[in-house]
């Protein structure tokens, strides 16, 4: 298996980079490399991918999508003159969202939610000892959590679905009249 991935700038909705990896286990390594690239820093990216049977397919589709999205105007310089494939039906490919570690976004949201709940319970244990500063600590943790999650749509969903319950459960446990 091989993968073609794309970086879409969430500020303007434009795909600005297309790349490939040969095996799924290379996603995290490749995204760490991109985080150090000048073009990647300081921007909010939506990263998605398609799975293809071989590296040859990935190479051809990478060139196709570089031409189709015109990412050669942004950050792709290799394969800029290969052009788009005339026999490809783009609607046949389903782009799947991932986070910056290379994991499926839904899976990572579940992991982050679980991590958050586990960490919150640990904070609750310490909160009784440091009750005056706990509210600020919880707010800082919540802010960091939502920053990790990524997109505003996801943050809004998490905020609406989880924050009330999390805060209610937390404050009910340590704020007594």
Residue pLDDT, tens place only, 8-65: 998 899 999 999 998 766 777 888 888 888 888 888 888 889 999 999 999 999 999 9
Shared domain check, 84 and 110: no
Are 14 and 91 contained in the same domain?
Answer: yes
What's the CATH number where 35 sits?
3.40.1440
Last residue of a domain, one of 98, 130, 153: 98
Residue-number span of the structural domain to which 29 is assigned = 2-98
Answer whether 9's CB lies under 8 Å from 45's CB: yes
Give the best-scoring range by mean pLDDT among 50-64, 88-102, 114-128, 158-172: 50-64
Domains identified in the chain, total number: 2
Gap between the Cα atoms of 4 and 76, Å rounded: 13
94 shares a domain with 110: no
pLDDT of residue 170: 61
End-to-end CA distance of the chain: 60
Is 112 found in the same domain as 91?
no
**Residues 94 and 111 occupy one common structural domain:** no
Same domain, 14 and 90: yes
Q: Which of 73, 98, 123 is the last residue of a domain?
A: 98
Pair 139, 64 in one domain: no
144 to each of 30, 45, 106, 141, 162, how far by Cα in Å?
Answer: 24, 18, 18, 5, 15
Q: What percent of the chain has pLDDT over 70?
A: 63
Domain shared by 139 and 78, yes or no: no
Task: Give pLDDT tens digits for 82-99.
Answer: 988 988 888 888 898 886
My answer on whether 126 and 79 are in the same domain is no
Domain match, 92 and 120 both:
no
- Alpha-carbon distance 173 to 164, whole Å? 14
Q: Choose the final residue of a domain: 78, 98, 118.
A: 98
The predicted-structure confidence for 71-81, as pLDDT tens digits, reads as follows 999 999 999 88
Q: Are residues 75 and 138 in the same domain?
A: no
What distances in angstroms separate CA 135 from CA 112, 140, 174, one per listed residue? 21, 9, 11
Q: Are residues 67 and 117 in the same domain?
A: no
């Amino acid at each position: 298996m091989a993968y073609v991935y794309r970086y879409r700038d969430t500020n303007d909705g434009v795909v600005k980079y297309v790349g490939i990896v040969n095996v799924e286990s290379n996603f995290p390594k490749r995204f760490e490399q991109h985080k150090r690239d000048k073009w990647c820093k300081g921007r909010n990216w939506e990263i998605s991918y398609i799975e293809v049977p071989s590296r040859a397919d990935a190479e051809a589709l990478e060139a196709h999508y570089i031409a189709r999205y015109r990412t050669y105007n942004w950050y792709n310089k290799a394969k800029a003159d290969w052009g788009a494939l005339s026999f490809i039906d783009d609607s046949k490919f389903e782009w799947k969202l991932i986070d910056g570690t290379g994991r499926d976004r839904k899976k990572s949201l579940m992991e982050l939610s679980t991590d958050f709940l586990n960490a919150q319970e640990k904070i609750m244990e310490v909160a009784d000892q440091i009750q005056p500063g706990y509210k600020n600590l919880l707010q800082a943790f919540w802010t960091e959590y939502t920053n990790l999650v990524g997109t505003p749509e996801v943050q809004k969903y998490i905020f609406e679905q989880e924050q009330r319950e999390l805060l209610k459960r937390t404050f009910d446990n340590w704020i007594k009249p």
